[in-house]
A and B are shown apart, each in its own frame.
Chain A
Amino acid sequence: MVEIKNYCKSIKSRPILNNVSYNFEYGKIYGIYGHNGSGKTMLLRAIAGLLVPDSGSVVIDGKVLHKDMSFPPSIGIVIENMNLLPQYNAFDNLKILGKIKKTATDEDIKTALERVGLKSDLKVKKFSLGMKQRLNIAQAVFEKQKIILLDEPTNALDNDGVQLIYKLLKEEKERGALVVITTHHKEDLEEICDVVLKMTEGELHEK
């Protein structure tokens, strides 16, 4: 379980996460919607260990982030400005990332790329925006991560792409992963999410 306990974070005296408390369970898809600047992406960063809290904590399977560990032990994340290496193709990019934890085989990488509908041998610099987004999602799931955080995952995807990603996320849920998705549009979430949450001014509300 991922527990967020009274998490507060301010940047330049402006509160961006305001006393957020919530428990996320494995095997569920959570959707968070809210306006621009409401703190959705910051919440994902907080769970991923990229932010250091002013107060409060994130507890993952009983271990406190920034105390017992710097980052969650098994996490896949897609947030803005994450670019893969342009001089390599999709397979090589995932292979390079896979060398850090050494948990994914070549077969896992191929399967992940097939699941997001990427069969191209092109280098990433020749990818369209949609293909880059698919590859980003593939890097978040190819190691069978336990926690998957996706910020606007359907951005730049066509209808077929969106359905493919929804199918993939449902499969990840069946596998037992915790999936958290953020978006501006509530309608996008209702189709696949088990729990829909609203983020307003750095506060998280259950719908």
Chain B
Amino acid sequence: MLKSKLVLSIILIVACLAQLFSCVFQGNFQNAFMIGLAPSDYGLEISKFLPLLLPVCFILFFTSGSIENLKQGYGKMLIVRNYSKTVLILKRCLNNFIALICIVLFQFIIFFVARESMTPVESGTLKSLIMYFLTIFSLIVIQSLLEISIPAHIVNIGIFIYCFIAYYLVQNFVDAPIWKMLLFPSLMFGMQNGAVSGESIYYGYLLFIVALNALCIFILNLRFKKTDIF
């Protein structure tokens, strides 16, 4: 409740634009469209990668506290006015889902408009977009799940560090699919860093991300039902 959604929305827009222009000034405009095609060498350096992660950082910040807020202060007045904890949790997840759709669409429109004159949109764009969206949504749900027992700001920082480490390890050291699943945040830039390359492996990872989302929402509901609110 302390953070103003309006201020955060503005920061998010600035982050998306910063990400775009950063890549423009580096002369590597193709990489700015991180949800799109894969560069031939998969050679995205950390310094170039950081601007790509900036919007993700703010999306996670934007959605953080959605469960923690229910457990304290004003949240208690909201929660006792609801009949079912399950419905409440599903509503929170749906709110985050819709917010994420709006944010990703906004990103997509920025990149699409800016990129139009440069190169044609690849056929794999939609698939990459879905993977990008679902991976970030997984992170949001995991963030919500951890907020039940850990303060939201610590969870937020932890998830962001995990994203960075996952990307770095998959980019530089890891090749086995099982590691890519454990370090799943790297899949959101899969077309850029080579984590998702082949047609067959894409659907495997897609299934994994969908299953991860469903499992996390299921556990979130179970845990929240058993949580005391003081």
Contact = CB atoms under 8 A, between A and B. Distances in A.
B74 A79 contact: no
Among B78, B80, B84, B88, the one with the most A-chain Cβ atoms within 10 Å of its Cβ is B80
Interface in A50-69: 50-52, 66, 69
A73 interface: yes
Given A75-B80, A101-B81, A82 B73 contact: yes
A85 B79 contact: no
A70 B225 contact: yes
Contacts of A52: 225-228
Interface string A74-105: 01010101111100000000000100110000
Among B1, B228, B229, the one with the most A-chain Cβ atoms within 10 Å of its Cβ is B228
Contact of B76 (A66, A69, A79, A101): A79
A49 interface: yes
A50 B1 contact: no
A20 to B, nearest CB: 16
B80 A84 contact: no
B128 to A, nearest CB: 39
B102 interface: no
A84 B77 contact: yes
A91 B164 CA distance: 45
Contacts of A45: 228-230
Contacts of B72: 81
A71 interface: yes
A45 B71 CA distance: 12
A83 B80 contact: no
A116 to B, nearest CB: 16
B228 A139 contact: no
B83 interface: yes
A81 B73 contact: yes
A55 to B, nearest CB: 14
Contact of B82 (A71, A77, A81): A71
B48 interface: no
20 contacts: A11-B228, A45-B229, A45-B230, A50-B79, A50-B80, A51-B229, A52-B227, A72-B80, A73-B83, A77-B77, A81-B72, A81-B73, A81-B76, A82-B74, A83-B73, A85-B74, A97-B77, A97-B81, A101-B81, A139-B77
Interface of A: 11, 45, 48-52, 66, 69-73, 75, 77, 79, 81-85, 97, 100-101, 139
Given A66-B225, A82-B76, 4 more contacts: A50-B76, A52-B226, A72-B80, A82-B73
